[in-house]
């Protein structure tokens, strides 16, 4: 079955009110891609302004707390994301895992909160360079899926997006080869098929995230099990991001 394609931008810690023009340009261009979903995950303080600037366009967060409310200074809950106008959020980005010590168990709770409040989670998984060099990347990512997603029902699983991030290719200028990307995406789908079913696995969008740029997007998106991309720095400039979106179409 054909999947709905998705290209999501992750602005990371970039973006102020002046950059809403880039959001508007991307949203305007996205209207012409009927078979591709486009979203922008912006800093939390920009979500409300971005959502108001482009009604109907998918604006998301970059993280979510695993509780609905409480004494969690500086954090943002799923309810807050929803209230600000977000329809999705990134969960478990490698930078969050590394710098904030987010465990697979905590990420499972974040997934739960997202689903409870109709926020689509983009669940990130992927291996560091040491694991890739040891040749144990399959076991590593399988454990991430098992500990963060396997508690979900089949219907719940169909409500999430998975993004494979080879950590060694994020912000380094390195990119996984098309063979490496396809191999891992196919493996992830096979793991889901084994736990749930082939039919369910075929409905899950699996994005590639790891230095996706205008000059490599078409080749990466041409892989049969790559359903789109989670794009970092190249999503901040509208012209660059629009080129990447066209590569998926």
Catalytic residues: 93, 165
State CA 130 to chain mean position distance. 23
Alpha-carbon distances, residue 32 vs 25, 38, 66, 215, 246 (angstroms): 12, 11, 36, 21, 10
- Residue 14: count other Cβ atoms within 10 Å of its Cβ: 15
| One-letter-per-residue 3-state SS of the chain | CCCCEEEEEECCCCCCHHHHHHHHHHHHHHCCCCCEEEEEECCHHHHHHHHHHCCCCEEEECCCCCCCCCCCCCCCCHHHHHHHCCCEEEECCHHHHHHHCCCHHHHHHHHHHHHHCCCEEEEEECCCHHHHHHCCHHHHHHHHHHHHHCCCCHHHHCCCEEEECCHHHCCCCCCCCHHHHHHHHHHHHHHHHHHCCHHHHHCCCEEECCCCCCCCHHHHHCCCCCCEEEECHHHCCHHHHHHHHHHHC
């Amino acid at each position: 079955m054909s999947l709905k394609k998705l290209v999501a931008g992750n602005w990371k810690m970039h973006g102020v009110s002046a950059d809403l023009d880039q959001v508007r340009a991307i949203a305007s261009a996205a209207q012409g891609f009927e078979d591709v979903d486009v979203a922008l995950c912006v800093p939390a303080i920009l979500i409300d302004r971005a959502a108001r600037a482009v009604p109907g366009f998918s604006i998301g967060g970059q993280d979510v707390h695993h509780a609905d409310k409480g004494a969690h200074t500086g954090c943002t809950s799923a309810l807050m994301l929803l209230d600000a106008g977000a329809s999705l959020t990134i969960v478990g980005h490698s930078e969050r895992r590394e710098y904030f010590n987010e465990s697979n168990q905590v990420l499972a709770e974040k997934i739960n909160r997202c689903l409870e409040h109709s926020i689509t989670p983009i669940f990130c998984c992927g291996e560091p360079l040491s694991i890739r060099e040891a040749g144990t990347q399959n076991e590593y990512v399988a454990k991430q899926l098992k500990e963060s997603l396997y508690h979900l029902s089949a219907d719940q699983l169909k409500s999430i997006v998975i993004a494979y991030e080879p950590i060694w290719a994020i912000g380094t200028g390195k990119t996984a080869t098309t063979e490496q990307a396809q191999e891992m995406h196919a493996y992830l789908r096979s793991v889901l098929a084994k736990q749930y079913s082939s039919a369910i696995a075929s409905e899950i969008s699996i994005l590639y995230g790891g230095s996706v740029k205008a000059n490599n997007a078409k080749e990466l998106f041409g892989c049969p099990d790559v359903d789109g991309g989670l794009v970092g720095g190249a999503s901040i400039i509208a012209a660059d991001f629009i080129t990447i979106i066209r590569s998926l179409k």
